[in-house]
Amino acid sequence: MVAKKTDSREVERERRHSDQTRVWKLCGDCLTYLVEIPLVGVKTKTFEMRFPMRYSIILLTFICTSVCYLERIGFSIAYTAAANRIGVNQSSKGLILSVFYYGYVVSQVPGGLAAQYVGGRRVLLFSFLLWSLTCAFAPLDASKVNMMVVARFLVGVAQGFIFPSIHTILAQWVPPHERSRSVSLTTSGMYLGAAGGMLVLPSLVKYKGPQSVFTVESALGLMWSFLWFRFSSDPVRSEHPKAATAGFGEPNLPVSREKKIPSSGNLRRFTKIPWKKIIFNLPIWAIVVNNFTFHYALYVLMNWLPTYFELGLQLSLQDMGSSKMIPYFNMFMFSNIGGILADHLITRRFLSVTKTRKLLNTIGFVIAALALMAIPLFRNPSWTVICSSISLGFLALGRAGFAVNHMDVAPRYAGIVMGVSNTAGTLAGIVGVGLTGRILEAAKSADMDLTSIECWKNVFLIPAYLCIFSSFFFLLFATGEKIFE
């Protein structure tokens, strides 16, 4: 009898478990996980866990930037391997690596406008689907130059919509007192993705071939698109007192009675974008100049550091183990440290917003410049990893200065200003990646050995000098005050 009673209880427990209803629901500005358990003779019991929706948005945008940069570093690794197998010269390699940025620059400002009027959530989903499908159907063949150019251009155009959309979304969802750490966490996903790519993808290329990188990247992109479609949401109007001045929880665009366009089930208002004020404003130029420098240094290291290890130091990436991911993991750490530190200095009133932005930007860029100058001086791979890690880490720290500044000076036009500033950053990719290829090819034409210091010195000195110039420019002209109403 006892055994039968125990068995019946187990059966009943299993039946109840199978009858449970688990569901995610959006309730106001919170994402709620509901578990409904029907009990015998008792009304259904409901358990719920609530997550502020902005945390879910920040987490998803963090994963978004991780996947994007995994794709970028992945292409650099896979294409370098494919190009080296058939003897593609350094100038041609630089052309293919820089084509992405031509597409990227085309869609920056249109991306900001689209996010402003159509909604950042929809634009972000569209861009992810576009680049993921392009990777899925484009074969990686270094000998087919025209096909590679078209494919990389399309991926660049698609990814150009991503960061203006993210800044529009975060400006709507995140209150000012959480802004630095939220933006830093989201953007630190770039570096974690690059670190993961450097750790895993060289082995994937070695054992499965370069094309396998495209397959993995497209699968990750489509998976993220599903998560974003399922769990993201357009913001609801917020009554958060600290968010009022930033337009938090409201459409970014100020109210106007002139023109209307339906969007997301309601009317999104049009207004005139203050282009003249954006273009001729020195604080905006301070952001633009530093964005250019940051991305010049980042893209040169991201695209050419694998070549420097393999040709300059005669060291295979597969033989470096986990050390090759340290520079990007360092960026991930320092980006979040910078965001937390900036919010702490501001909310505790140790420094004003302006002084906080200038302090972190200056420290980050000056130390990064010194580390860049040191890279070609050391012929030891360990010291190269250390110097590149210091350089990239402090560049990431500097993002708590210039990168968050979009939302300080123009919270309602954050996507537009980000599009303008990221256009400069993308031009840096075009100039820096292509120029580096020409520098190395010129050195090779002059019968210089690519293992010599002289071949690589200018590759690292140019971004170092740019960092020093940009830090002084930001000190002179940047502000943390809102300049756009």
Q: pLDDT tens digit string along 73-112?
A: 888 888 888 888 887 777 777 778 778 888 888 888 888 8
| C-beta of residue 152 within 8 angstroms of C-beta of residue 103 | yes
Res. 295: pLDDT tops 60: yes
The distance of Cα 186 from the centroid of its chain, to the nearest Å, equals 7
Q: How many CB atoms lie within 10 A of CB 340?
A: 15
Res. 306: pLDDT tops 80: no
| C-beta of residue 385 within 8 angstroms of C-beta of residue 327 | yes
pTM strictly above 0.85: no
Pair type for strands 260-263 and 21-27: unpaired
Q: What is the pLDDT of residue 249?
A: 45
The span from the CA of 54 to the CA of 48, in Å, is 18
Spatial CB neighbours of 244, under 8 Å, sequence gap ≥ 6: none
Res. 226: pLDDT tops 60: yes
| C-beta of residue 35 within 8 angstroms of C-beta of residue 48 | yes
Containing 25, the helix (H) or strand (E) segment is: strand 21-27
Spatial CB neighbours of 45, under 8 Å, sequence gap ≥ 6: 36, 37, 39
The span from the CA of 100 to the CA of 214, in Å, is 15
Q: Six-digit token pair at 31?
A: 């994402």
Spatial CB neighbours of 276, under 8 Å, sequence gap ≥ 6: none
Q: What is the pLDDT of residue 27?
A: 52
Res. 2: pLDDT tops 50: no
Domains of the chain: 52-477 (1.20.1250.20)
Res. 170: pLDDT tops 80: yes
Containing 187, the helix (H) or strand (E) segment is: helix 179-208
199-216 tens-digit pLDDT: 888 888 888 888 888 889
Which of 138-147, 310-319, 381-390, 409-418 reaches the highest mean pLDDT? 381-390
Residue with the larger pLDDT of the pair 272 and 6? 272
Res. 129: pLDDT tops 50: yes
What pLDDT band is residue 359 in, cutting at 50, 70 and 90? very high
Q: What is the pLDDT of residue 15?
A: 45
The span from the CA of 457 to the CA of 374, in Å, is 9
Q: How many CB atoms lie within 10 A of CB 333?
A: 17
Residue 75 phi, psi (nearest 5) = -65, -40
The span from the CA of 431 to the CA of 413, in Å, is 27
R_g of the chain computed on alpha carbons:
25
Which of 29-38, 199-208, 287-296 reaches the highest mean pLDDT? 287-296
Q: What is the DSSP string of 348-381?
A: TTSS-HHHHHHHHHHHHHHHHHHHHHHGGG--SH
Q: What is the mean pLDDT of residues 281-300?
A: 92
- Please provide the average confidence, as pLDDT, over all residues in the chain: 78
Q: What is the pLDDT of residue 44?
A: 53
Spatial CB neighbours of 150, under 8 Å, sequence gap ≥ 6: none
Res. 447: pLDDT tops 60: yes
What pLDDT band is residue 266 in, cutting at 50, 70 and 90? very low
Torsion of CA 453, 454, 460, 465, to 10 degrees: 130
Residue with the larger pLDDT of the pair 429 and 461? 461
What pLDDT band is residue 24 in, cutting at 50, 70 and 90? very low
The span from the CA of 2 to the CA of 15, in Å, is 20
The span from the CA of 301 to the CA of 307, in Å, is 10
Residues belonging to the chain: 485
Q: In 3D, which of 253, 210, 183, 216 has the Cα closest to residue 67?
A: 216
Spatial CB neighbours of 192, under 8 Å, sequence gap ≥ 6: 66, 328, 329, 332
What pLDDT band is residue 420 in, cutting at 50, 70 and 90? confident
Residue 24 phi, psi (nearest 5) = -90, 135
The span from the CA of 235 to the CA of 54, in Å, is 9
The span from the CA of 80 to the CA of 370, in Å, is 28
